[in-house]
Amino acid sequence: MNLYFSEYLEGSGNNKALEIFNADTNGNTADLTLVAIEIYLNGAPSPSSSIALPAGDLAPGELFVLANSAAVTGLQAVADTTSASVNFTGNDAVVLLYNGGIVDVIGEIGSDVAFGENQTLRRDCAVTQGDRDGSDPFDATAEFSNSDADTFDGLGTRGCP
């Protein structure tokens, strides 16, 4: 399954969100009950929290937005679901799992190096799959463009041709 984070929003307060994109080119629909997100706080080597997604399907080319349940109303309105566990800062690794296997990582598991603090990261259109190695150094500028904190005007739309 070719799922990856297409947007990462680390804004002020509880304004946090993740956008997941199904980039599968073989027509495979993702079963959301097989998707989980792990958050590794402050360089922890094991997840501090794990978030399961609700039942449903994500067809190829579709997006799923997960936001913090205490985010501003405008951000929650874009979300497909919310969770208080969507709580990370710009030095916490965030891992996307499908059927137990890593399909994308933002950050570096076990590292406390800041990479996305108070900003929105949008995956470049040229990127066609996620970073499946959570132990390698993370360079946000290699695959993402960034915007200021609390920028969520493009959340929920992939904006790529």
Name residues whose C-beta falls within 8 Å of residue 104's C-beta, 6 or more positions apart in sequence: 3, 4, 5, 95, 96, 129, 130, 131, 132
How does residue 131 score in pLDDT terms, banded at 50, 70 and 90? very high
Tokens of 108: 């570096």
Q: Is residue 156 part of a domain?
A: no
Q: Is the pTM of this model over 0.85?
A: yes
At position 113, the amino acid (one-letter code) is V
Residue with tokens 């950050």: 107
> For the domain that residue 106 is a member of, what is the CATH number?
2.60.40
For residue range 6-45, list pLDDT tens digits in order. Answer: 999 999 999 999 999 999 999 999 999 999 999 999 999 9
Structural domain harbouring 56: 3-148
At position 115, the amino acid (one-letter code) is F
**Whole-number pLDDT of residue 160:** 82
For residue range 53-99, list pLDDT tens digits in order. Answer: 999 999 999 999 999 999 999 999 999 999 999 999 989 999 999 99
DSSP per-residue string spanning 114-126: -SSTTEEEEE-TT
The count of domains in the chain is: 1
Q: How far apart are CA 1 and CA 99, in angstroms?
A: 9
Q: Is residue 155 part of a domain?
A: no
Tokens of 61: 């080319």
Residue with tokens 């041709």: 161
Query: Residue 161 above 80 pLDDT?
Result: no
**Whole-number pLDDT of residue 75:** 93
Q: Is residue 122 part of a domain?
A: yes
What value does the mean pLDDT of the chain take? 93
